[in-house]
Structure formats: C-alpha cells, structure tokens
Amino acid sequence: MQFLPKWWNWHTQGTQNPPGPRARAGSTPAFGTIFLLLVLAFPSPIHPSEVMDRIIADVNGEIVAASEIRAWRAIEPQITEAEALQKIIREKLRLQDIARYAIYTVDDAEVRATIQQAGLADTPENRRAFRRKLVIRQFIKERFEALVSMPDEHVRTYLKETFPDMAEPDPAGSEWREARKLLEAKELDRMISEWDHTLAEKARIRYIEGNAPIPSPSPKK
C-alpha cells in the first residue's frame, strides 16, 4: 500500500485538501476577561474616604450628612455625635431663617483670622464652617444686640441682691459696669434661645431610619 503524507499536496492544502478539525479542550479567554476575574478575586481595600456619604437627617428639605458630623467634631472633638447633630440642625435652621432677611458676606481675611484664633488648620472645611459661624454672629449682632438695653434699676437691684453688704452702688463704678455687661449678656442669651425655640417649633425635621437622635439637652452656643 502506497504511503501518502498527511498533506500530499501542500500547495492546495487550504482549498482542495484542508486539514480536518482538531479537538480542543476549550478556548483561551481574552485578556480583559482574565483581568476582570483577577479584580473580582482580589478586590482592593476601600479607603474610608471613598465610602459613600450617609444621610442622617432632613431639615426643611436640607440634608445633614455623616461627613458634616465628622467635620463638626474635628472642630469640637469634646462633644458627642448626638450633640454635633443637634448643633448642625440648629445652625441650618438659623441660616435658613437668616436667608429670608438678607445675604451676608464675610471677608476671607476675617475667616482666616478667626480660624487662627481658634488654633485650627486653615483648611477648606474649616473655612466653610467658620464662614457660617461668622454670618450667624453678624446677624445676631444686627438683630439682637442692638435691642439689648438694661435699665439702671435692674442693674441696681442685681447688685443689691448679689452683694447685700455693698453700699449704694455707684453708676460710674467698675462693679456697675460689670453688672450691666453680665445682665445684657444674659438678656442676649435669652433672646437667642427664644429665636432657636421658635425656629425648632416651626421646622420640619426628619431623622433617617436607623439614625434617630439620642436625647440630649439643648446645646450651648
């Protein structure tokens, strides 16, 4: 029997006598598929800053995010998250009310000087935070401080009750001036607390499920 090579006419291999199909165990995956499988098999660790921010509350349609609480506690690390949340809500209510009256602007130099006085780093987050505080301070000064007036009779009564052995108080003396300053500061605090109370009563505050506030006393200024 005559032996014929597998390709007896290699010139016509591709047309007249093509090679038969070979059995294959499977196709080789593309490079993109291999890369995707490696990524899924060995995921890279997620940095905390890359985690999606979490909504904590809704204040008249304005959200409070978890990042805001972290930023507030970076300025006041001694307070709890619940206290920071209540302070943020109070600030948002104040700024919303202030926006109804006027638009206040604060100079960048004043913002940086206030940050420096607080002994904090001059970061974008701190600049935004202190700008808001200065806007509120400016509004309180114009709306409330101008209305604070302590009659002399109130000052005299306070001194007599506080220092019963004191002789007749002298309106030109240092004790009188200090007493007036103290009484005016208390009156200003009362007016601001009344303002906050009114805003809170009218507000629509919704805490996102799972983020109910921890009962705590009203934060101080």
Residue 28 to residue 102: CA distance in whole angstroms: 69
Q: Examine the pLDDT at 25 and tell me if it is beyond 80.
A: no
In this prediction, residue 27 has a pLDDT band, given cuts at 50, 70 and 90, of: low
Q: Examine the pLDDT at 24 and tell me if it is beyond 70.
A: no
Q: Is the pTM of this model over 0.75?
A: no
Most confident of 8-12, 20-24, 147-151, 163-167: 147-151
Residue 218 to residue 221: CA distance in whole angstroms: 9
Q: Examine the pLDDT at 36 and tell me if it is beyond 90.
A: no
Residue 101 to residue 136: CA distance in whole angstroms: 12
| 214 touches 69 (CB < 8 A) | no
Other C-beta atoms lying within 10 Å of the C-beta of residue 207: 16
Three-class HEC string of the chain: CCCCCCCCCHHHCCCCCCCCCCCCCCCCCCHHHHHHHHHHHCCCCCCHHHCCCCEEEEECCEEEEHHHHHHHHHHCCCCCHHHHHHHHHHHHHHHHHHCCCCCCCCCHHHHHHHHHHCCCCCCHHHHHHHHHHHHHHHHHHHHCHHHCCCCHHHHHHHHHHHCCCCCCCCCCCHHHHHHHHHHHHHHHHHHHHHHHHHHHHHCCEEECCCCCCCCCCCCCC
pLDDT tens for each residue of 72-107: 999 999 999 999 999 999 999 999 999 998 888 899
Lowest mean pLDDT among 29-38, 105-114, 169-178: 29-38
Q: Examine the pLDDT at 21 and tell me if it is beyond 80.
A: no
Residue 180 to residue 159: CA distance in whole angstroms: 10
